[in-house]
Amino acid sequence: MAQKTSSHAGKRLPNQTRRRQIIEQAIIFFAEQGFGASTRELAERIGITQPLLFQHFSTKQALIQAIFDTLFERMASKDWGAMLHDRNKDLRSRLIDFFSQYAAALYDNSWIRIYMFSGLAGGAFNRLYIASVTEPLLREVAVEIRASLGVPHSPSDVSAAETELLWILHGGLYYTAIRRHIYGMDSPSTDLAQVVEAGVDSILHGMKGLAQRAKVPGGRKNRRVVAE
Amino acid sequence: MAQKTSSHAGKRLPNQTRRRQIIEQAIIFFAEQGFGASTRELAERIGITQPLLFQHFSTKQALIQAIFDTLFERMASKDWGAMLHDRNKDLRSRLIDFFSQYAAALYDNSWIRIYMFSGLAGGAFNRLYIASVTEPLLREVAVEIRASLGVPHSPSDVSAAETELLWILHGGLYYTAIRRHIYGMDSPSTDLAQVVEAGVDSILHGMKGLAQRAKVPGGRKNRRVVAE
DNA sequence: CAATTAACTTAGCGTTCGATAAGTTAACTG
DNA sequence: CAGTTAACTTATCGAACGCTAAGTTAATTG
């Protein structure tokens, strides 16, 4: 009764081709509906019957795992680091470029919604991604900033406070994308580039403060002062 | 097998008391499991039978709506604005206090998880909350910062770019909480207060920059009064 | 204490879910 | 072109879902 969504009708596809097609459509489908959505509706959208899904993936969870593997591979294989180390450009331009492109990729291709669904489900996917992609990238950023400030800039020199500050920028851009594309709030008057620019400038100043403060041993651990 | 979570066993409760108990437990339960979780398991956790839920809420969706109403009321009734306008403290202290407490409240009481589930489900809850709570608060923050910079500081003077910069800080803190409490990544070496402090300092600098360079031509809604 | 009310339970309905088994047919091969 | 393989469908199972109807029992009232 239901008709296929694919370009031409019920062709038989080689095993691996069909498998890849299922994964690609499942990424889009589960990103929209969440992992609780039914395999029947997914199959209908692909234009196949539901039991065929289980000939390529033993369980629904196995299909979801294949989605994670695919997305992880896709994001981890990109080379954002190169953009950061291009010394032909000044640091500020490099950072703006890096964060602009990284922020754009974060939303693209259903990544952000799958990522949020996964985090809420409690699996290890997010921790794996953060530990092996995001954290190293932010550390590279911190190293570049420290280098341009003329302070020691081996990876071990980066303080936790500096990393956290970069996490604020990263998370802020992340949340900006969520607000626009998940919550459906459009901020019409500013574009992403402008936001990234202002964010990078702010964080650059903050990093400078942290780096200088770190030189002084026993730096300021000020508690809030409610004074008078 | 499962025993009631309440203090003492199967007492009969007056209508409104039971209703409130169900809502409170449902907040915790759905925050953990998502709205796809079953009403049977919720009932078991409360220590009642499942059909009793439907004597207080006509449908599962009605219960979820009651959760939204309760959480919205709880968050919107707090008076964070007062903290911002306390001129006995300097601006920086006020901002650090404000963002510290707001960030703490964001995670507390299952708020952040319910909020994320809701956003992904596509309802109007998040847009409503942002428009009536978050946006006004950030605008108040921007007004206070502009006031301390000696530039025009009526609410209409706040540019979109300034709001977006504050959104980065807000989103960054939000995402920090997510990372710690949803993804289960603990950043042991820094506490939230220190992160807020660094973030506020960075954003204060960024806001100063934006306010000064505000008369860039080509801006859409930028009717800037600043002369220079 | 008997009668009434209201809180709560027991039993079960129709539907949808993930998953399986068996049968069908398109595509390849010699 | 017959035979084999592999891609795909039909039909269905048991479990879990939201929700309902009818009965039971604790608390209240005169």
Q: What integer pLDDT is reported at residue B218 of this predicted model?
A: 42
Mean pLDDT over the full length of chain A: 86
A219 in contact with chain B, both atoms CB, cutoff 8 A: no
Q: What integer pLDDT is reported at residue A9 of this predicted model?
A: 52
Q: What integer pLDDT is reported at residue B45 of this predicted model?
A: 98
Which stretch of DSSP H or E encloses residue B43? helix B39-46
Q: What integer pLDDT is reported at residue B5 of this predicted model?
A: 39
With pLDDT > 70 as the criterion, what percentage of chain B qualifies?
Answer: 86
Nearest to A165 among B89, B189, B198 (CB): B198
Q: What is the pTM of this model?
A: 0.88
Which of A195, A180, A69 is closest to B126 using CA atoms? A180
Q: What integer pLDDT is reported at residue B6 of this predicted model?
A: 38
More reliable by pLDDT, A210 or A127: A127
Q: What integer pLDDT is reported at residue B139 of this predicted model?
A: 95
Q: What integer pLDDT is reported at residue B212 of this predicted model?
A: 77
- Three-class HEC string of chain A: CCCCCCCCCCCCCCHHHHHHHHHHHHHHHHHHHCCCCCHHHHHHHHCCCHHHHHHHCCCHHHHHHHHHHHHHHHHHCCCHHHHHHCCCCCHHHHHHHHHHHHHHHHHCCCHHHHHHHHHHHCCCHHHHHHHHHHHHHHHHHHHHHHHHHCCCCCHHHCCHHHHHHHHHHHHHHHHHHHHHHCCCCCCCCCCHHHHHHHHHHHHHHHHHHHHHHHHCCCCCCCCCCCCC
Which stretch of DSSP H or E encloses residue B39? helix B39-46
Give residue A221's pLDDT band: very low, low, confident or very high (50, 70, 90): very low
Nucleotides on strand C lying under 7 Å from protein C-beta: 6-12, 16-22, 26-27
More reliable by pLDDT, A222 or B136: B136
Kindly determine whether residue B165 and residue A199, on different chains, have CB atoms separated by under 8 Å. Answer: yes
Q: Give the minimum alpha-carbon distance from A104 to chain B in angstroms, rounded to a whole number.
A: 15
Segment A44-102, tens digit of pLDDT = 999 999 999 999 999 999 999 999 999 999 999 999 888 899 878 999 999 999 999 98
Find out whether A183 and A171 touch, Cβ atoms under 8 Å.
Answer: no
Q: What integer pLDDT is reported at residue A103 of this predicted model?
A: 86
Find out whether B141 and B164 touch, Cβ atoms under 8 Å.
Answer: no
More reliable by pLDDT, A220 or B17: B17
Nearest to A194 among B116, B161, B202 (CB): B161
Spatial neighbors of A216 by CB under 8 A, at least 6 apart, are none
Find out whether B112 and B182 touch, Cβ atoms under 8 Å.
Answer: yes
B203 DSSP assignment: H
B15 in contact with chain A, both atoms CB, cutoff 8 A: no
Q: Which residue is nearest to nucleotide D21 (CA to C1')?
A: B51
Q: What integer pLDDT is reported at residue A183 of this predicted model?
A: 84
Kindly determine whether residue A161 and residue B198, on different chains, have CB atoms separated by under 8 Å. Answer: yes
Which chain A residues contact residue B200 at CB under 8 A?
none
B93 in contact with chain A, both atoms CB, cutoff 8 A: yes
Which of B45, B95, B69 is closest to B205 using CA atoms? B95
A224 in contact with chain B, both atoms CB, cutoff 8 A: yes
Helix residue ranges per DSSP H, B108-222: 111-121, 125-129, 135-149, 160-181, 192-212
